[in-house]
Structure 1
């Protein structure tokens, strides 16, 4: 037996005011699209804004369905749209924000496992890391330099 130690380095900002100005603007786009989320069941709205290498910004919000597996998270809505509209363009940064209609969300909300896997696929495809910034509706903002910081043992085509 040989132990395997995995570490991740994340940066935590006390508020949105501390992140670089371009990230503040990207997060504002995520906040705006968060309000378009269709979340009548969970009452939990998520917005994602992706900054592409061609300087385009693509956004997405979560879209629920009474048949729960049929819904889609904000991050995947945005990344799949970016992949369809700009298939050869690299994803540089993504900003994610979440809000509950039941209580105030003050802790950073990272992407779910399915979204981490979807984002990892694009990171592997473009052979370059994607910066992630995530937050609740207020409070701290967490930055990961790469999807691999959130999902270190990714499943990719090398596993097939």
Structure 2
């Protein structure tokens, strides 16, 4: 038997003001999307802003449903909208902000497993990484230069 060690490397911004101006604007769009989340059951609001290669910003928010599996996360809402409406554009940068309605979070909240897989699909499709910034309602912001940094063992078409 042999053990292997997998490591991730993230950049940490102590607060919003440390972000580059372009990323501040993208994160502000994520805040707007977060504010429009439909989350009556969990009261956990997530917003995503996705910068495409054509300069367009696509926003997505989580959309819950009483039949829980029928809802959709903010990240996938934005990704699938971009894929359906701008199929020839690449996903360049994603900004995510999440918070509980009655308990604002100050810890960076990463994409869930299903969203990581969706982002992975687009990284493979476009043959280029998606830079991901994620945070809570306030506080530190984490930056990952690619999804494979957050999900090192990607499940891709190679296995099918």
TM range (shorter): over 0.9
For 2:90, the equivalent position in structure 1 comes to 90
Number of aligned residue pairs = 160
> Aligned partners of 1:85 and 1:57: how far apart in 2?
12
For 1:7, the equivalent position in structure 2 comes to 7
For 2:128, the equivalent position in structure 1 comes to 128
> Aligned partners of 2:144 and 2:19: how far apart in 1?
13
Shift of 1:40: 0.1
> Aligned partners of 2:134 and 2:6: how far apart in 1?
22
| CA deviation vs aligned residue, 1:111-132 (integer Å, no higher than 9, x gap) | 0000000000000100001000
**Runs of 4 or more off by more than 3 Å in structure 1?**
none
> Aligned partners of 2:136 and 2:23: how far apart in 1?
15
> Aligned partners of 1:4 and 1:132: how far apart in 2?
26
Instruction: Structure 1: give runs of 5+ residues left out of the alignment.
Output: none
Q: How does 1:25-64 map to 2 (within 5 A)?
A: 25-64=25-64
Instruction: Structure 2: give runs of 5+ residues left out of the alignment.
Output: none
- The normalised TM-score by structure 1 is 0.98
> Aligned partners of 1:8 and 1:139: how far apart in 2?
21
RMSD over equivalenced CA pairs, Å? 0.7
Structure 2 counterpart SS, 1:92: strand
Shift of 1:36: 0.8
For 2:23, the equivalent position in structure 1 comes to 23
> Aligned partners of 1:103 and 1:130: how far apart in 2?
29
